Structure 1
Amino acid sequence: MQLLFNLFIVFFSTFLFSTQNISAQSLDFNAGKEIFSQNCTACHEGGQNVVVSEKNLSKNALEDNDMYSIDAIINQVTNGKGIMPAFGARLSDDDIQNVAQYVLNQAETSSW
């Protein structure tokens, strides 16, 4: 009986923590979407790139340009590169993390 109770506690705890994580991811996605809308759409509306069209935000383009990871996107947004300005001084680390997750999610799901 004690074993059954312990298993119940483990499964319940796992479920409880996993649903909290899903909720946090949803908030991060929404925050990332908002940050992207406010700061990135002038050049990247709909995942495009109005300056250098082949460097858009599609999965293939991100892969081709070694940008298909959270770390690569965070670095690009923080420090800028070429004509893209750095946003590290304008956005918080959390904001940059959220927008990077949003961009990667949109690319992974072809949701642009």
Structure 2
Amino acid sequence: MSIKLKKLIIILLLTFIVLNLNFIPTALATDTVNAEKIFSVQCAGCHINGSNIVRRGKNLKLKALKKYHMDSIEAISSIVTNGKNNMPAYEDRLSKQEIQDLSAYVLKQAEKGWR
């Protein structure tokens, strides 16, 4: 096999991989239906529609998430897992995957304005 043919095959394979990665939905690993149910049962009591009935400024709206550096799945997962102040920890109530799904759901809802 010639060097030119090997290079062409490598380029085609890389192009195929890159194109496939671009079309994978970002929520592929996220169970959004389950996350919405978890939010309704575990979170909506205090955070209905992204608000906060306990501390108004500490809501789940994008502006507040950014202000408090909570605008990533990792940051949201951390506070859901460990809790903070009035926010209880859910480490013993939810699996790691459920916490990841829930965190992705919260961030997505915040980006959509909780509509």
Q: TM-score, normalised by structure 2?
A: 0.76
- Which ranges of structure 1 fall in alignment gaps of 5 or more residues? none
Distance 1:26 1:6, change over 3 A: closer
> Is the 2:51–2:60 contact (alpha carbons within 8 Å) kept by the matching residues of 1?
yes
> Is the 2:73–2:104 contact (alpha carbons within 8 Å) kept by the matching residues of 1?
yes
Among residues 80, 84, 106, which one is paired with 2:109 in the alignment? 106
Separation in 2, partners of 1:100, 1:74: 6
Separation in 2, partners of 1:66, 1:11: 36
- Which ranges of structure 2 fall in alignment gaps of 5 or more residues? none
Question: Is 1:57 the equivalent of 2:60?
Answer: yes
Q: Judging by fraction of residues, say which structure has more helix.
A: 1
Question: Is 1:67 the equivalent of 2:64?
Answer: no
Moved over 4 A (4+): 4-19
Task: Give the Å deviation of 1:64.
Answer: 0.7
Report how many aligned residue pairs link the two structures: 110
Superposed counterparts of 1:22-41, under 5 Å: 22=25, 25=27, 28-30=30-32, 31-41=34-44
Give me the CA root mean square deviation: 2.3
Task: Give the Å deviation of 1:34.
Answer: 1.5
Distance 1:12 1:79, change over 3 A: same
Separation in 2, partners of 1:43, 1:27: 27
Separation in 2, partners of 1:5, 1:40: 51
Separation in 1, partners of 2:9, 2:80: 48
Letter in 1 for 2:30: D
